């Protein structure tokens, strides 16, 4: 079945450092891929998405490219801020006629001033 494997955390960076959070997937076909962010005590917010191979999703300085050759959707940001500290979840659509999502386990990012 479809699954997502996500880089384990926590990831601790200094402000303005470069961020990469790895995400790889196993899927039948080419499902849409998503990154969600969860700030402490809050729900999930969509950060970005890509619906087909080679698409690049981007938002708030974050980017991720849908790579079917490597079945990956790594999240990157050139210069992180303290306010980016949160848990980041990679997800893919579970298939079938629904938009059910399958999530990775999440990666905690802590950015220090």
Partner 1 sequence: NAGVMQNPRHLVRRRGQEARLRCSPMKGHSHVYWYRQLPEEGLKFMVYLQKENIIDESGMPKERFSAEFPKEGPSILRIQQVVRGDSAAYFCASSPKEGLPGNTIYFGEGSWLTVV
In the complex, the smallest distance separating the C-beta of residue 61 from partner 1, rounded to whole angstroms, is: 20
Alpha-carbon dihedral of residues 72, 11, 81, 36, nearest 10 degrees? 40
Q: Is 11 in the site for partner 1 (CB under 8 A)?
A: no
Q: Cα 85 from chain centroid?
A: 14
| Structure-token pair, residue 109 | 């990012």
Q: Give yes or no for a cis peptide into 38 (omega within 30° of 0).
A: no
> For residues 96 and 113, which CB has a smaller minimum distance to partner 1 in the complex?
96
Q: How far apart are the first and last CA of the chain?
A: 41
Q: Is 98 in the site for partner 1 (CB under 8 A)?
A: yes
Q: Residues binding partner 1: what is the number (CB under 8 A)?
A: 25
Q: Is 97 in the site for partner 1 (CB under 8 A)?
A: yes
Contact positions with partner 1 (CB under 8 A) in 57-76: none
In the complex, the smallest distance separating the C-beta of residue 58 from partner 1, rounded to whole angstroms, is: 15
Report strand pairing: 23-26 vs 3-6.
antiparallel
Q: For binding to partner 1 (CB under 8 A), which residues are involved?
A: 6, 31-32, 36, 42-46, 49, 51, 89, 93-94, 96-106
């Amino acid at each position: 079945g479809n699954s997502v494997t996500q880089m384990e955390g926590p990831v601790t960076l200094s402000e303005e450092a470069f961020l990469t959070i790895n995400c790889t997937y196993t899927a039948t076909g080419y499902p849409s891929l998503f990154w969600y962010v969860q700030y402490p005590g809050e729900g999930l917010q969509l950060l970005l998405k890509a619906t087909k191979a080679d698409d690049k999703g981007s938002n708030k300085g974050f980017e991720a490219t849908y790579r079917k050759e490597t079945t990956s959707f790594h999240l990157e940001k050139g210069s992180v801020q303290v306010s980016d500290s949160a848990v980041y979840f990679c997800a893919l659509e579970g298939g079938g006629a629904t938009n059910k999502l399958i999530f990775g386990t999440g990666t905690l990012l802590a950015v220090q001033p």
